[in-house]
Amino acid sequence: MLRDLIPTVRRTPARPLETDPIVSFRTSLERLFDDFTTNFEDLAPTPAGQSLRSFTPRLDLQEDDNKIVLTAELPGLRDSDVQVELNRDYLTIKGEKKSFQEDKSKEGIHCERAFGAFERTIRLTTEINRDKIDASVKDGVLTVNLPKTHEGKKDVKRIPVHH
């Protein structure tokens, strides 16, 4: 997808995530590409009850001195439908949003809900205490708490520049 062509942004600990203009620009571009492709998929003819769209959860990241908190919208999913993995410094969320039809005798005319397998991977730029990671799903929102290690909490050292 187009998102894969955009290089991964390395965030320095000196700038908070929400004020980093590069991260903000990349997030805006990702949403623009998602909206752009979604609009074209609406125009494509599909058999009744099927959708060309794939399900891609939206993510939010918040960071303070002690932890990073990731939240993702996963409407209709339970904890058993989601997997969270940390491989080196890459956090991956994956699962599947399954389509179901309550009344098999009725044929669908139009379907806007997206179903299917999904996977999102983000790169973490700070050391995480792997033994204390906690993840939960409540009311269709996945929350992953990623506590920082002692090394991850270190302050940024400013180095003077001389003439």
CATH number at residue 60: 2.60.40.790
Count the domains in the chain: 1
Q: How confident is the model over 33-53, as a mean pLDDT?
A: 51
pLDDT of residue 151: 79
For residue 156, being part of any structural domain is answered with: no
Tokens of 88: 């080196």
* Adjacent-strand bridge partners of 92: 85, 121
DSSP letter, residue 2: G
Domain range for residue 69? Answer: 2-147
Nearest CA to 156 out of 11, 13, 10, 9 is that of 13
Which of the two residues, 116 and 81, has the higher pLDDT score?
A: 81
pLDDT in tens, 89-115: 899 999 988 766 555 666 666 666 777
Per DSSP, the residues of 101-140 read: -S-TTSPPS------EEEEEEEE--S-B-GGG-EEEEETT
For residue 53, being part of any structural domain is answered with: yes
Report how far residue 138's alpha carbon sits from residue 44's, in angstroms, rounded to the nearest whole number. Answer: 34
For residue 68, being part of any structural domain is answered with: yes
pLDDT in tens, 4-37: 555 555 555 555 555 678 888 888 888 777 665 5
pTM above 0.85, yes or no: no
